[in-house]
Amino acid sequence: MSTSTGVINTEKFDHKYDDEIVKYFLMATIIWAGVALLLGIYAALELANYKFNLGLQWLTFGRIRPLHTNAAIFAFGGNGIFAGIYHSSQRLLKTRLFSDKLSWFHFWGWQLIILAAAITLPLGLTQGKEYHELEWPINIAVAIVWIAFGINLLQTIRRRKEPHIYVALWFYIATFVTIALLYVVNSIEIPVSWFNSYPVYAGVQDALVQWWYGHNAVAFFLTTPFLGLMYYYIPKAVNKPVYSYRLSVVHFWSLVFIYIWAGPHHLLNTALPEWAQTLGVIFSVMLWIPSWGGMINGLMTLRGSWDKVKTDPILKFLATGTIFYGMSTFEGPLLSLKSVNEVAHYSDWIIAHVHGGALGWNGFILFGMVYYLVPRLWKTELYNKSLAETHFWLGTIGIVIYIVSMWTAGIAQSMMLNAVDATGHLVYPDFVQTVVRIVPLYYVRSLGGLMYFVGYLLMVYNVVKTIKGAPVALAASAKREEANPVLKLDTQALVQESISEGPHRVLEGFPMVMTVLAVAAVLVGTMIELIPMITSTNAQSEEFAAFKVKPLTSLQLAGRDIYVREGCYLCHSQMIRTTVGDVLRYGPASETADSMYDHPFQWGSKRTGPDLARVGGKYPDLWHVRHLLNPRDIVPQSIMPTYSWLLEQKLDLGTIERRFSVLKMLGVPYSDEDVKNAAENAKKDSIAIAEDLVKQGGPQGLENKEITALVAYLQSLGKQTEKR
C-alpha cells in the first residue's frame, strides 16, 4: 500500500466522499431521537400515574422502559455515532468509505433491528437483562450488522490516503472491537423457541457478565465513539487543533484500560464476592482521572475562543455536552464508593446520573453535530440560528430540572427507607410511605423531559427548513463539487514523508496494531474479573456447598418467565444487600446460592417497589391475586400497574418441557422425569392453586391461567435455599 511509505499515489485517489449515507444516518438519528424522548416522557408519566398505560399490557412500564432505553441508546445514539463516524472518518482518512453496499446494508440492517425491537419489546419478548433485552434471533442480526460496520470501518482505514491515523479513529476502532466482544459474550444463550432463550450464565455469574457488558456498553457505545466525535468536531467547529494531542493519547489508553474493570460497581453490597466489588470500586475511582483528562482536553481546545461559544450554537452544544461528560464522570466514581452507593443504588439518583450522561453528554454532542453537519451536507446556511439557541437553553434547563428532581427523589427516598428510630426499628416500615413522597417529583421530572423534547422539536423544524431552503441548483452543483474536493497533495506528501517512518508511525499509524493493542487492553480486565468468578462460583464450589437449593417447579418456572416478560425486575429487585436498611426491611442478606439456578439473574437495578427476594410466604396467594389485579385495592397509594390480563390469559405450557431440558443442560438439577412431566405437573399445581384461591374466597376459574404461575413463583422467592 502506498501509504506505508508515505508517498501518496495521486492516480488512485478516489475523491468522492459518500455523504449520502451520512445524510441517511443523520436523518435516522433525528427521527429516533424523537421516538426515544417521547417514550421517555411516557414512561416517566406512567410512574407518576399508572393510568397512563391505559390498562394495555403492551404499554405497561415494564415493557415500555426497555423500549425507551433501547431507542435512546441504540437507535438515537447508534445512528448518531454511525453518522459521525462515517462523516469524519472519510475526511480524516481522505478516502471514500470502503464499500457502498456494506454501508447501505449497515444502514438498513440497523433500522430493521430497531423495528424488530419496537415490535418484540412491547410484546414482552425479552431476555430480562438490561440493555440486552432483545431475543436471540435479533442478537444474531445485531452481530452481523455490527461486523459489517466493523469491516467497512477497518477497510476504509486500510485504504486510506492519509498515512496517519488521527486519535478519533482509535476511539472508533476501540468502539467496534470492544462492543463486538461484550455483545457476543453476553449473548451466549440457549434458545428455547424462536423468541425465548436462557443465558448460559446463572445468578452471580450472570450478574457479573451482564454488568461487565452493561457498564461497558456505556463505556464503548456511549463514551468512546462520542469522545472520537468530540476530538473531531470541536476542533472543526472552533477551527483549532485539539489542546494537547499527547493528552489525547494518554486519555485513550488509560480510559480503554480502566473502563473495562468497573462493571462490579453496579453490584456493590450485594452477594457478589468481595474481591470483585473491591476491584470495581478501585477502578471506578481511577476512571475519574482519564475521564477528566478528556474533558479538559476538549474544553481547553476552546481556549481563546470562548467568545465564539457565546454566539455559535454548535459550539454551545459541544462545549456544554463536554461539561456534562465531566459532571457524569465525576458523579460516577462518587457513586461507586460503597457508602454513597448504599444510598444511591436502586434509587432515582442513578436515574439522574444516567440522564446527565444521556441527555447532556450524548444528546448535546449529537445535536451539536446535527447543527454542524446539516448546513454543510446540504451546502447552505442554518435556517435560523436563534432557534438553535432557544433549543440549547430549553434543553439545558430541561436537563437541570430532570437531574435535580431525580437527585432529590432518590436521596429523599433512600434516606426514608434507611431511617431507623432510637429503638432500632424502621421509621417508615411501609415502602409505599416513601413512594408517595416522591410522586410529585415524577411529574417535575416529566416536565424536564418535556422541555428537552420541545427543544428537540425546534431543531427538527430548523433542520427541515434548512434543507428545504437549500437552493436546488446550488444543491445539485454542490453535489458535483463535493464529489471532487481538490486536495493539496503535493505539500502534504512532503510533510508526511519526513515523519511517516519512525516508531510513532509504527505504533500509532497501523490499524491492525491499534486493534490488537486495544483488544489486549480490554482483555486484561475482562479475564482477571470474569474467569475467577466463573471458576469459583459453580455448583461444586465452597460458596454453594453450604446450601441446599431446590430448583423451581415447572409452574414456578413458567411464572418466572412471566415475571421476566412483564418486566417486574425493572421496579423490583431480588437482592437484599448487606446494608442495615436492607436487612431490617427485607430480612437476611441474599446469599449467592439463592440465585444459583437463575437464568437470567433478576437482581434488578432499581427499586420503584420493594425488594422481592424473600416475599415468598409473606402473604397468602389471594393477596397476590388481588394485588396484581389492582394493587390499590390493597395498598391505596400504590403506583404499581394493574395486571388484570394475567387472570384472563391461558398459561402457555407449549415449551415447558423444552425449557426444563435447556435448564437441565445448563446444570439445574432436574431429572429426566421432571422434564418429561413438566407440563403435567404445572397443570396439576395450577389447578391446586386455583382451588385453594376459591376456598379463600377468591375468584373462580383461575386454573391454567397465567396468574397461578406468577403467584407460585412469587411464593417460591426466598423459600428455595436451605442451609445444610
Q: Binding residues for other proteins, per CB under 8 A?
A: 88, 91-92, 94, 162, 164, 166-168, 231-232, 235-236, 239-242, 245-246, 249-250, 253-254, 257-258, 261, 273, 275, 278-279, 282-283, 286, 376, 485-488, 492, 495-496, 498-499, 502-505, 507-508, 521, 524-525, 528-529, 531-532, 535-536
> Which residue has the CB atom at the shortest distance from ligand HEC?
609
The answer to whether 128 and 202 are in contact (CB under 8 A) is no
In the complex, minimum distance from the CB of residue 638 to other proteins, in angstroms, rounded to a whole number = 43
In the complex, minimum distance from the CB of residue 209 to ligand HEC, in angstroms, rounded to a whole number = 24
- 631 contacts which partner out of other proteins, ligand HEC, none, CB within 5 to 8 A by kind? ligand HEC
Binding of ligand HEC by 409 (CB under 6 A) = no
CA-CA distances (angstroms) from residue 167 to 173, 298, 415? 10, 13, 44
502 φ/ψ sector (left φ>0, alpha ψ -120 to 50, else beta): left
Binding of ligand HEC by 133 (CB under 6 A) = no
| Residues from 554 through 593 that contact ligand HEC (CB under 6 A) | 563, 566, 568, 570-572
Instruction: Round to whole Å and give the CA distance between 153 and 140.
Output: 20
In the complex, minimum distance from the CB of residue 383 to ligand HEC, in angstroms, rounded to a whole number = 41
- 166 contacts which partner out of ligand HEC, other proteins, none, CB within 5 to 8 A by kind? other proteins
Phi, psi of 450 (to 5 degrees): -65, -40
Q: Each residue of 333-359: b (16+ CB within 10 Å) or e? A: bebbebeebbbbbbbbbbbbbbbbbbb
Which residue number, 592 or 608, has a Cβ lying nearer to ligand HEC?
608
The answer to whether 76 and 31 are in contact (CB under 8 A) is no
Instruction: Round to whole Å and give the CA distance between 512 and 517.
Output: 8
Binding of ligand HEC by 61 (CB under 6 A) = yes
3-state helix, strand, coil split of the chain in percent (to 5) is 70, 5, 30
In the complex, minimum distance from the CB of residue 267 to ligand HEC, in angstroms, rounded to a whole number = 21
- Burial of residue 554 (number of CB atoms within 10 Å: 0-12, 13-18, 19+): buried
CA-CA distances (angstroms) from residue 162 to 177, 516, 625? 22, 21, 67
CA-CA distances (angstroms) from residue 179 to 18, 171, 213, 597? 25, 12, 9, 27
The binding track of 678-717 with respect to ligand HEC, each residue x by CB under 6 A or -, is --------------------------------x---x---
- 615 contacts which partner out of ligand HEC, other proteins, none, CB within 5 to 8 A by kind? ligand HEC
Which residue number, 9 or 637, has a Cβ lying nearer to ligand HEC?
637
Instruction: Round to whole Å and give the CA distance between 199 and 677.
Output: 23
Binding of ligand HEC by 431 (CB under 6 A) = yes
- 522 contacts which partner out of ligand HEC, other proteins, none, CB within 5 to 8 A by kind? none
Which residue number, 554 or 602, has a Cβ lying nearer to ligand HEC?
602
The binding track of 3-42 with respect to ligand HEC, each residue x by CB under 6 A or -, is ----------------------------------------
The answer to whether 309 and 319 are in contact (CB under 8 A) is yes
CA-CA distances (angstroms) from residue 67 to 62, 126, 181, 449? 9, 10, 23, 16
- 279 contacts which partner out of ligand HEC, other proteins, none, CB within 5 to 8 A by kind? other proteins
Count Cβ atoms below 10 Å from residue 144 Cβ, excluding itself.
14
Which residue number, 168 or 711, has a Cβ lying nearer to ligand HEC?
711
Binding of ligand HEC by 635 (CB under 6 A) = yes
